[in-house]
Structure 1
Amino acid sequence: MNTVYTFLADGFEEVEALAVVDCLVRAGLNTKTVSVNGSNTVTGAHNIKVVADIEFSEGDFSDANVLFFPGGMPGTLNLEAHSGLMNLLDKHYNAGKEIAAICAAPSILAHKGYLKDKKATCYPGFDKDLVEGGATHTGSLVEECGNIVTAKGPGAALELGYTLVARHVSPERAAEMKAQMIFEY
């Protein structure tokens, strides 16, 4: 079964993390939230406290198909500062496995050189990081480029969730969920 790990650091953007996780759970994907701050309780950018499923030190991650990085500040900086998580990200990327990031978090991938010669999107203002990392910044709500999926920000969170469902369950299930959740544009 596909397993998606969502990494939470203090200052994460709540909508981005929880809307995506909600979509994945509704689709039946094995989904785990992971705190990187040494406690299972993580405080979001808007002071909403969330209890993660596990703390990073408790994780094995060998079953990871997707690593998901929500944005938010200072959440993105806190994720990037976690050496264990960055080592896991390197291993996952080098194995050709999927990575998803939204808002400011695609900047982490850009800093590591993972977006070189790829299309990507991010929250306005972080496009400079993407371009400096060799990416083509598209400004799209969601951008899929090989094993990397990026999204623009909080308003793109559900679309990112549906994109991941389409990739890991089926496009039909994603469309069904959009209808059930009254997602209309």
Structure 2
Amino acid sequence: MEKTYVFLADGFEEIEALATVDLLRRAGINVETVSINPTLAVKGAHGVEVAADIMLADCPEGAKMYILPGGMPGAKNLADNAHVCHMLTAQHKNGGKIAAICAAPAVVLAPLGIIDGYDATCYPGFEEGVVAGGARHKNQRVVVDRNVITANGPSSAIPFALSIIEALKDQDSADTVAKGILL
């Protein structure tokens, strides 16, 4: 079964990463967290340390979806990783699904040309990066444009995850998870 992967770098936004993983697993989506560090341990922007499921070297190209939490310097750490950038570029070139939240659309996706010609959103203050990457910035919580999902920040983690569930499964699955968490 093809998997979905959430990339974790030191400084990641905990809510965006962990809420997304939690809700995807509730929906029965096969998702793993991926450390880009030399170890499985990854420390979030607010000091929460987690053990990722796998190392970047063990993450295959051609996933069901790659997901990027934001947070700083987490998003910059992802953008500075050549292997992550190669995987994202290949995924996009092959029409694969990508999701990014908070600073990640502007800091990671835009410089790679992934959102060029797309509608996208990001954390307030990062709009110039999105526009410089050729995207049309939308002041919305979550934007779905073709194979790319973007969201604006921590408070949008749940709608972001539900949009991912809808993209990977269907609306009924997203509705079931939303109902299960009393949304």
- Tell me, yes or no, whether TM beats 0.5: yes
Give CA deviations for 1:60-83 in whole Å, capped at 9, x if unaligned: 344x11000000000000001111
Give CA deviations for 1:21-55 in whole Å, capped at 9, x if unaligned: 11110000110100001110000000100000011
| SS of corresponding position for 1:46 | coil
Q: CA deviation at 1:2?
A: 4.4
Q: Are 1:155 and 2:155 an aligned pair?
A: yes
Q: Are 1:49 and 2:49 an aligned pair?
A: yes
CA distance in 1, matches of 2:61, 2:149: 19
CA distance in 2, matches of 1:116, 1:174: 28
Asked if the contact 1:14/1:44 (under 8 Å) is kept, the reply is yes
Q: Letter of the 1:50 partner, please give it.
A: V
CA distance in 2, matches of 1:68, 1:103: 12
Q: CA deviation at 1:132?
A: 1.1
Superposition map of 1:1-185 within 5 A? 1-62=1-62, 64-107=63-106, 108-183=108-183
CA distance in 1, matches of 2:75, 2:117: 23
> Alpha carbon RMSD of aligned pairs, Å?
1.0
Q: Letter of the 1:104 partner, please give it.
A: A
CA distance in 2, matches of 1:89, 1:60: 11
Structure 1: 4+ residue segments shifted above 2 A:
58-62
Asked if the contact 2:85/2:112 (under 8 Å) is kept, the reply is no
Identity of aligned residues (%): 41
Greater Cα offset, 131-140 or 38-47: 131-140
Q: CA deviation at 1:166?
A: 1.1
Q: CA deviation at 1:170?
A: 1.4
CA distance in 1, matches of 2:25, 2:180: 14
CA distance in 1, matches of 2:24, 2:177: 10
Number of aligned residues: 182
CA distance in 1, matches of 2:133, 2:109: 8
Q: Letter of the 1:44 partner, please give it.
A: G
TM-score by length of structure 1 reads 0.95
Unaligned runs of at least 5 residues, structure 1 = none
| SS of corresponding position for 2:10 | coil
TM-score by length of structure 2 reads 0.96
Asked if the contact 1:2/1:168 (under 8 Å) is kept, the reply is no
CA distance in 1, matches of 2:165, 2:98: 14
Q: Letter of the 1:86 partner, please give it.
A: C
